[in-house]
Chains A and B, each alone.
Chain A
C-alpha cells in the first residue's frame, strides 16, 4: 500500500509570499541606495534571515514580490543560489516584479491577477525574522476552515510582555478573541482615542468568554486562504494588512469572512524589522540567540563583549565601544567612543569620533572629533567634516532636489528635510533605545478622569465654584511643573471662569486660595514659597488690581489660614509681609481688614504683631 497522505501532500506544496518592500520610507536615507530587504542585519542581509526561516519552517515555494531596486535583489538571490545557501537547496524562489505597486495591498492585487497561488499560503510582511515552525499553523488553519467556512486568515503573534524592546510602539496592539481564538477586535493602541479601548457590546453578548490580549508582539506572519487575494482585489482601498483586518471586522456580515489568531509561545520567536527600533531589537535578540537556529554567523562576525564586529575590522585598544554592531572592514581611529549604534561596512572613523544611538550607512567617512548622536542616520557614502556635531538628523550623500544652503554640510553630506506632511511621520518614527536607561515609564492611563468616574460614591457633588477651584489648582500645578507662561494660565483660568459662570470676586478669592494651597501641597520652606509666588507674580498682578480685589485676597489668606490650623504661626505674617512688600496689598487695605477681624480668634492673635508693626511703620513715616 502506498501512503495516501504523501500524494495529497505533493499536490499541495506549501507556498509563501514575501512582500519585500515597505512603502513608507522608514529607513531613508539608507534605503535610497539599498532595498530594505538587503539591509544588513548583523552583517547579513535581512532577506537571508527571512528566506532561511521560510525554508526551516517547511515552505517549498516562495514568491518574492519586489517593487524597487529589483536588480540588486535578483543579483543577490542569484549569488546566494550559486553559493548554495541553505534555503536554496529545497525551496524554489520566484521573483515577481511590479514597479507600479505603491502599497502592500497593491502587491496582493497584482498577485491575484497573476493567479499563481492555489491553496492556502503563508503571507509575510517585509522584514520578518523568525524561527516558527509553519506547518502546524497551516494545519491548524485548515482545521479552523473546516469548522468555520468564513475563516480566511490566521494572524500570528508572539507572546511578549509589556515593555519588551521587541514591541515597537507602532505595532502596539489590543486584540480581543473568543474561546476559539477568533478575532473580534483588533486595534493599534496609537489609534485609540483618549487611551480607552471601546469594544462593541455585542461582542460580549455573543460570546461567553472574550480574551483581551495586550501581551502581543506582531510576527508579521499570516496564514491565508486562497480567498484573501480576491478580497484585496474587490476592495481597492485596502492598502495594508491592517486595513484588511479592519475591513473584515467591520463588515463581517457583508463579507462573511473571519479572522483567527495564533499565539506562539515558548522557544519560538517571531520578530520583524519594520523600523529602526525593531532593527535594534531584532539585532540584539538574534545576537542573544532568541531565534535559534537563526544565529549570527561566526564566520562573518566576532563577538566582542556586547558588540558584534565584522570581518576585517580591527578594534583599537583605546576604543570605547558598547552595544554596537560594526560591519566589515571598518577602519577605526584612536580614542573612539561608540554606544548603541550601528556602523555598516567599509566606513572610516577617524580619531576622537563619538557616535551614540545612530546608524551609519556603508562607506561613510567621519573625520576627526565629530559627534553623531541621538538618532542620526547617515546614508551610504556620506562624508562628515572635522568636528561636526549632528543631532537627530538624516544625512545623505547625494544632493536632494530641493536643498537649501544651510542643509549642505559638505560635498557628500546633505541634510534631508522631510516634507511638511512627512514631518509628523518622522517625529513619530520609533527610534533606537538607549539600552542603559530603563524603558519608558509612561503614564498611561489611570488618569484623573478615570478617578473622577470612580467617584460616584466618594464625595458630594461639587458645586460650580468648587469645580472651578479644582480646575484652577490643576492649571496652576501643571503650569508650575511644566514651566508654562503665566499669560496662558490666565487665559485658562478665565475660560474656566466663564465655563462655570463665576463672579469676579470669587475668581480673585479662588485664584489666591489655589496658589496658597499649592504651597501646602509642596515641601515646605519659605524660600521655596517666595519662588512659587514670584513665579506666579504675573497672575497675582492680573487679579489683584484694585481695593476690592485686595480684600478678596486677604479673605483668601484668612480662609486658608483658618482652615489649616496646623500652619506655623509665622506663616501668616510671612505671607502678609510678602504681599505687602511686593505691593500687591496696600497698607490701607490690610489695616481695614485687620480692624474687621474677630479680635478674640486665634487667627487675629497671630496677625496682631504684623498689624502693629504696620501701624508703627506708618507713624514713623
Chain B
C-alpha cells in the first residue's frame, strides 16, 4: 500500500491572461519574466519552501511544451506532472478540476501560477486541518499602492473588488461577493448576524486564489457542470450554502426515494463521518463562545479564510499595473520573498559590454549588451540583443528581443522576439510579440502589435 499524500497540489497555469492581452498574446502568462525568474517559479518555490515535492500543473495544450521545458529546468525538487486542457475552449478553474477528477484522491491545494508571496502556505493549511474545513482560502492585505507608470493607453478596467465577510472569532468565511454586484444596498440576512455576531467586512483584500479543498468538493464539482470558475461561481455558492438548512433525513422506508431526489444536493457530498460527529459532540471544544449552539453551529459545510499579515508581501500578477509594479519592487524585496536563493542581477552567462548598467537591472542569461549602451531599472530577458548607442530605461525586454542601434526605450514592455528598428524612440509603449517596429518610429502611450493579435481585445 502506498502512502497517500495529505494534499495534492494543483497549479492553475492554463489561464490566457485575458486581463493583459497586450503582453500575453504570444506567450504563456506563467512565463512572463519577473525579476530573474519566470512568473510560475514563484508559486513553485513557495511550495518547495513548504516542503511539497509533487504537483500537477494545468496548462493549455498548445503551451504545454513551452511551459514544461522551462519548468523542468528549475531544479526545485518538485516533481511536476502536466495536465493539458484544450486551448480552444474557454475553460475555467472549476472546469479544469472537473477534468482532473480521476487523478485526485486526496484533499486538494490549488494555487494560481501568478501568485508572488512570502506567506507561509502552512497557515492556510493549518486552519484547514484544525477545523476540518470544507474549503479554506487565503486573502492578502493590499500592498501599498505605488505610483507606477503603466505603459500603453490608459486602462479601461476598474480593478475588481470583493466584499469579504469574515467572522472575527472563528475565521469563518461567511460572506463573499463582488462589490460591483451591488448597486445601492448590500443586503445581509439577519440570520447570518445571529450566527456570526461579529463579522468584519473587508473591501480591499486581494483573493490569492489559493484554495485548500476537501476531496468531496471535487466530486461535487464533477456533478455540477454549470460551475465553471472557483472564484466567481463556486466560492460564493459554497459560502452561502453554509447558511442553508440541511434537508431533513427521511425515514428508512422512503430513504431511497429521497436519495435519488437529492443525489446532486451538496449536503449529500458534505456528509461527515458519524464517528467524527460523535467525537465533536462529546468534546469540550467549541469554536465560538457567546451562544449555546454546538461547535460550528452544526454546519457540515465550513469555509474558512486566512488573511496575511500586513507586512507580508503578496500580489497576484494578473493585470498590467500589477505586473509593472511587481517588477519595480521585486529587486528590493527579493530576499524577503525568496529567502532561499540569492538575487543574481547579472547572469554570468550574459554578455555585458555596456558600462552603464545600474544596480536595479536584471540581466538574464544569453543577453548581449553591446558597448555604449545604457540601462536603468530594466529587465533584460534571455537572448536579448541590444546594440550600441541605445538606452533602455525602466523597461522590460522579454526573450529574444532585438534592439537595434540608437534606440531609446523608456517605460516600455517589449514582448518575445520583437525587433525595435534603428533610431526608434518609444515611451510608455507595449510592443507585441514578434512585432517589427520600423526604423525611426516615434510612439508614446501606444500598443504596437499585429492586427491579428489585437483580435483578442
Contact = CB atoms under 8 A, between A and B. Distances in A.
Given A208-B204, A451-B245, A197 B197 contact: no
A209 B200 CA distance: 6
B233 interface: yes
A163 B244 contact: no
Contacts of B245: 446, 451
B163 A204 contact: yes
Q: Which of B165, B188, B193, B241 has the most CB of A within 10 A?
A: B193
A575 to B, nearest CB: 16
The prevalent SS among residues of A at the interface is: mixed
A570 B35 CA distance: 77
Contacts of B184: 200-201
B292 A212 contact: no
Nearest to A196: B187
B203 A205 contact: yes
B160 interface: no
A566 B254 contact: yes
A530 interface: no
Contact of A566 (B142, B191, B256, B289): B256
B240 interface: yes
B102 interface: no
A196 B179 contact: no
Nearest to A200: B185
A190 to B, nearest CB: 10
Given A174-B193, A208-B204, A446-B245, A215 B198 contact: yes
A11 B233 CA distance: 62
A600 interface: no
B435 interface: no
Interface in B242-283: 243-245, 250-251, 253-254, 256-257, 264
A520 B261 CA distance: 12
Interface string B211-248: 00000000000001011000001000100110111000
B189 A215 contact: no
Interface residues of A, number: 45
A209 B191 contact: no
Contacts of A454: 237, 240-241, 244
Contacts of A197: 187-190, 193
A208 B188 CA distance: 18
A268 interface: no
B145 interface: no
Contact of B250 (A162, A199, A447, A521): A521
Interface in A189-213: 189, 192, 195-201, 203-205, 207-213
Contacts of B250: 521
B193 A212 contact: yes
Contact of A450 (B186, B193, B244, B256): B244
B186 A204 contact: yes
A212 B201 contact: yes
Interface in A211-238: 211-216
A157 B114 CA distance: 45
B456 interface: no
B244 to A, nearest CB: 5
Given A196-B190, A199-B188, A454-B241, A204 B201 contact: yes
Interface in B87-144: 142
Contact of B224 (A195, A450, A457): A457
A457 B290 contact: no
Interface string A414-454: 00000000000000000000000000000011110011011
A445 B163 contact: no
B331 interface: no
Nearest to B237: A457
B311 interface: no
A566 B250 CA distance: 14
A189 B190 contact: yes
Contacts of A174: 190, 193
A5 to B, nearest CB: 36
Contacts of B341: none
Interface string B324-352: 00000000000000000000000000000
A204 B254 contact: no
A266 interface: no
A81 to B, nearest CB: 42
Contacts of A163: 291-292
B183 A201 contact: yes
A453 B240 contact: yes
A195 B190 contact: yes
B186 A201 contact: yes
A209 B201 CA distance: 6
A520 B257 CA distance: 9
B200 A524 contact: no
A456 interface: yes
B168 to A, nearest CB: 7
B448 interface: no
A452 to B, nearest CB: 10
B203 A204 contact: yes
B10 interface: no
A445 B189 contact: yes
B291 A199 contact: no
A208 B241 CA distance: 26
A176 B240 CA distance: 21
B182 interface: yes
A162 B142 CA distance: 33
Nearest to B241: A454
B49 interface: no
A17 B168 CA distance: 35
Interface in B352-409: none
A195 B200 contact: no
A350 B264 CA distance: 66
B60 to A, nearest CB: 25
A476 B294 CA distance: 33
A163 B202 CA distance: 27
B200 A211 contact: yes
A564 interface: yes
B412 interface: no
Contacts of A213: 197-198
B447 interface: no
B320 interface: no
A566 B259 CA distance: 12
A457 B163 contact: no
Interface in A91-142: none
A161 B256 contact: no
B197 A162 contact: yes
B104 to A, nearest CB: 21
B199 to A, nearest CB: 4
Given A161-B290, A445-B190, A201 B185 contact: yes
B189 A195 contact: yes
Interface string B133-175: 0000000001000000000000000000001010010000000
A199 B185 CA distance: 5
A161 B289 contact: yes
Contacts of B73: none
Nearest to A202: B184
Contact of A199 (B186, B197, B227, B256): B186
B290 A215 contact: yes
B20 interface: no
Given A163-B291, A198-B186, A199-B185, A211 B198 contact: yes
A206 B253 CA distance: 56
13 contacts: A161-B197, A196-B188, A197-B187, A198-B188, A199-B186, A209-B200, A212-B200, A214-B197, A446-B244, A456-B237, A524-B251, A566-B254, A566-B256
| Nearest 4 A/B pairs, CB to CB | A445-B191, A161-B290, A215-B197, A214-B193
Given A210-B202, A456-B237, A524-B251, 16 more contacts: A162-B194, A196-B188, A197-B189, A199-B185, A199-B187, A204-B179, A212-B165, A213-B197, A445-B243, A446-B189, A446-B244, A454-B240, A457-B233, A458-B224, A564-B257, A566-B257
Interface of A: 160-163, 174, 176, 189, 192, 195-201, 203-205, 207-216, 444-447, 450-451, 453-454, 456-458, 520-521, 523-524, 564, 566
